[in-house]
Chain A
Amino acid sequence: MLFDVDRIVELLPEMTQAFGETIYMIGIALLVALIIGLPLGIILFVTDKGLFLENKPIKSVLGFVVNVIRSIPFIILMVAITPFTKLIVGNSIGPTAASVALSVAAIPFFARIVETSLREIDKGVIEAAIAVGATPWMIIKDVLLPEAKSSIIQGITLTVISLVAYSAMAGFVGGGGIGDLAIRFGYYRYDNTIMILTVVILLLLVQIFQWIGDKAAKAVDKS
């Protein structure tokens, strides 16, 4: 039988736990991405040529680091930074350990998205703020962030959805979560019920995040 309802009931506790782990990993990584990736994206933008805090060395170094991390496939990154993960959380398996790798991947990803969002702002508005005599901090706080708000929210949606995919990959190396469930039951034990169910859960997760993100982005936009 392809789809067994009893099996679902039987594995419900495990499913719930896996789901919780996935949300936990994504939550931590998203939080870290917001705290570090957002300022990083702002720095990447404002230090660019012709902008009000133009600084070539900073822009080049940060740009390079971001590109290096982004060019490593997540599954390799996860294994490669194991020593770092151990240093931070003490072990290298489980959802907490996986969230370290997810955070490391999410920071440059989100930073680039923020940078791109800021780039979409009409340069004239920034120029007008400079002409008015605003400080760099005021321009960031009152011009850049409000003007890019809607676009950044869409970027957060994109980051979350990428994190859903990455978190499933984390299952491969003992990271826990829905991906782990899919590997253990669906892949190693040919348990189609679990396989299909995990796919459905992931699909629903992505749909829900996208829907929330779109609504939020639209709600904040005044233009």
Chain B
Amino acid sequence: MIQIENLTKVYQTKDRDVIGVDNVSLTINEGEIFGIVGYSGAGKSSLLRCINLLERPTKGRILVDGLDLMSLNANNLRKARLKIGMIFQHFHLISQKTVAENIIFALRAASTPAKEIDQRVEELLDMVDLADKKDVFPAQLSGGQKQRVGIARALANEPSVLLCDEATSALDPNTTSSILKLLKKINRELNITIVLITHEMNVVKEICDRMAIMQDGKVVESGNVYDIFSAPKNDLTKTFIKDVVNIDVPEEMLQKCTGQIVKITFRGDIAGESVISDMIQTFDVKGNFLHGLIEYIQERPLGMFVMEMKGDKTEIDKAIDYMSSQQVDVEVIRDVI
């Protein structure tokens, strides 16, 4: 578990102080995948780098598995870092060492007995599917392979936490997806808590359990990923979510419509189609879909539809009330013209 308490990071430049992280408190539970989202400059990278004290917070506390990192001396902090793995956007492998040597470097940091080293290297390379690249230098690997080496190195000393600093931002979509699958596998099989920062909502949608959105050094919204995707509150959150679930209807299309336009959101286990067909049969309204999609977030469906409703105004209102009573979110986007 990671507890971030009132964390503030101020950068001193020549003429002024820049606030990187502004009084952030977050608790990241054991075994979850937590995503921190924000545009560049939002402070997410600073926040992540404060978790293993690559950057020292100006104020606040960081507790990893109950250990107050800022109270540790240099040597104990080094030992604590053995249990906090980290991977990077640009991998940061030692270019003059082979894949195996890069992993051995991490193992030696934890004074792993020499006779166990070979076996650990094999295990780690098997886990990241790179057993055949053992004696290859990083320059001969693709981006995805380099990140796999980075992951193997980060996991070498069996950490309880893995920090991912834009780990997929330098990779193409296919590779990103395979790395995310690997991260998820690591999380589930080894029960490692993962904290990742990214500007891609797809990454969050794909693997995160909970998330926080950052802006100007502050956390503006946080919670369960499914809840945030289905009902974002903050404007910035909404903008981010549009990257993944965008159901905006083109303006020209809207102008052609004369009925009431509503946005209907189905969450999880509700059988969406049945509510709509019941509504059409029960009330004297006509429904016309303008847009719709179903996304699967954490394996739960999230359905969003934009519908034009035509008919008598009172009938439409009754229909909306009916849908709302069936646990369906209905938002009126535009009234009847």
- Is A146 an interface position by the 8 A CB rule? yes
User: B137: which A residues are within 8 A, CB to CB?
Assistant: 222-223
Q: Knowing A131-B81, A131-B84 are in contact, say whether A222-B95 is a contact too (CB < 8 A).
A: yes
Smallest beta-carbon distance A121→chain B, Å = 9
- Could you tell me the dominant secondary structure of chain B's interface residues? mixed
In the complex, A106 Cα to B92 Cα: how many Å?
Answer: 33
Could you say which of A74-82, A83-91, A122-130, A186-194 contacts chain B? A122-130
Smallest beta-carbon distance B81→chain A, Å = 4
Binary CB contact string for chain A from 207 to 223 against chain B (1 if under 8 A, 0 otherwise): 00000000000001111
- Could you tell me the dominant secondary structure of chain A's interface residues? helix
- Is A36 an interface position by the 8 A CB rule? no
Could you say which of B104-112, B250-258, B318-326 contacts chain A? B104-112
Smallest beta-carbon distance B25→chain A, Å = 23
| Interface residue count on the A side (C-beta < 8 Å) | 22
- Chain A, residue nearest B154 (CB): A132
Q: Are A222 and B92 in contact, CB atoms less than 8 angstroms apart?
A: no
Q: Knowing A130-B81, A138-B109, A142-B97 are in contact, say whether A124-B92 is a contact too (CB < 8 A).
A: yes
- Is B94 an interface position by the 8 A CB rule? yes
| Interface residue count on the B side (C-beta < 8 Å) | 32
In the complex, A223 Cα to B95 Cα: how many Å?
Answer: 6
- Is A8 an interface position by the 8 A CB rule? no
Q: Which of A129, A130, A142, A147 contacts B95, CB < 8 Å? A: A147
- Is B43 an interface position by the 8 A CB rule? no
In the complex, A130 Cα to B74 Cα: how many Å?
Answer: 11
Binary CB contact string for chain B from 139 to 156 against chain A (1 if under 8 A, 0 otherwise): 100000000001001101
- Chain B, residue nearest A144 (CB): B94
- Chain B, residue nearest A146 (CB): B96
- Is A134 an interface position by the 8 A CB rule? yes
Name which of B52, B85, B96 has the most chain A CB atoms within 10 A of its CB.
Answer: B96
A sample of 23 cross-chain residue pairs with beta-carbon separation below 8 angstroms, ordered by A number, consists of A124-B92, A125-B92, A128-B93, A129-B94, A131-B84, A132-B81, A132-B82, A132-B153, A132-B156, A133-B79, A133-B80, A133-B82, A134-B105, A142-B94, A146-B97, A147-B95, A147-B96, A221-B96, A222-B95, A222-B137, A223-B95, A223-B137, A223-B138
The interface of chain B, by Cβ under 8 A from chain A, is 52, 54, 78-82, 84-86, 88, 90, 92-97, 105-106, 108-110, 137-139, 150, 153-154, 156-157, 163
